[in-house]
Amino acid sequence: MAEPAPPHRQPAENARHGRLAARPAPPSALAAAGPASLTDPRGAPLAMVYAPEPVDGPPYRLVLLLHGAGGSARQGLDLLLPVADAHRLLLVAPQAVSSTWDLVVAGFGTDVRRIDGLLATVFAGYPVGRVAFGGFSDGASYALSLGLTNGDLVDAVVAFSPGFAAPLVAHGRPRIYVSHGARDAVLPVDVCSRRLVPRLRALGHDVTYDEFPGPHEVPEPVRSRAAAWLTR
């Protein structure tokens, strides 16, 4: 796969507001199917990518997958890797610059720029039809926040056990899938999704809420339902 593209040149305030400039376009050269890893010049992990075969087939449904606090790009990829081939999902899982995503630490900025450059690289190597964001825990909160900010790029957001949504600006109205365990002791459902989902619906979003009798996790049936929802 090609080296990561530099972030799009855009006003600095765009990154601070969570805005992404990268957009799908006809690829300049097709990348390979299967898994790929991206690293920076020092060898530090930037992202993991998985593309089902064939690359020269119909456009992919790209899903940007965001890991939880203290997690890894591999953990982000694994959220939907078992169902990627069946649903032709092009999975892109970045590594957060810090232990969690910039919005949670200090506000949009460094991770937005990294994700923008990563998406530009992927769009140059794979045919992409639709774009979705997804994540688990802190990654779910970030997927919601970044997805609502960039609803002119993203048409769907999958949030597994989110804590909040905090877009600074909103564009478009992507549909949303939220799952949460009724026994979640990390991000309790009563103060998270049971409050968040009604607020999202009040803003006019089409929200599918999938509450399950479990802890802070993504059970296989939830993963399968989310993938089917994504590709409907």
In a domain, 81, yes or no: yes
Q: Which of 52, 42, 120 is nearest to 83 (CA)?
A: 52
Distances (CA, A) of 60 to 43, 55, 201: 28, 9, 28
Name the least confident of 30-39, 127-136, 173-182: 30-39
Number of domains within the chain? 1
Tell whether the model's pLDDT for residue 9 goes beyond 70.
Answer: no
In a domain, 138, yes or no: yes
Where are any strands of DSSP class E within the chain?
Answer: 34-39, 45-51, 60-66, 89-94, 128-136, 156-160, 175-181, 207-212
Query: What pLDDT was estimated at residue 1?
Result: 56
d(CA 230, CA 130): 10
In a domain, 16, yes or no: yes
- The 10s digit of each residue's pLDDT in 63-120 is 999 999 999 999 999 999 999 999 999 999 999 999 999 998 888 999 999 999 999 9
Phi, psi (degrees; rounded to nearest 5) at 131: -125, 135
Q: The domain that contains 44 carries what CATH number?
A: 3.40.50.1820
Contact 143, 158 (CB under 8 A): yes
In a domain, 6, yes or no: no
Range of the domain at 111: 12-230
In a domain, 5, yes or no: no
Q: What is the mean pLDDT of the chain?
A: 93
d(CA 89, CA 60): 6
Q: CA 141: distance to chain centroid?
A: 10
pTM attached to this predicted model:
0.93
In a domain, 2, yes or no: no
In a domain, 7, yes or no: no
Query: What pLDDT was estimated at residue 40?
Result: 81
Contact 164, 194 (CB under 8 A): no
Query: What pLDDT was estimated at residue 8?
Result: 46
Query: What pLDDT was estimated at residue 168?
Result: 83
In a domain, 114, yes or no: yes
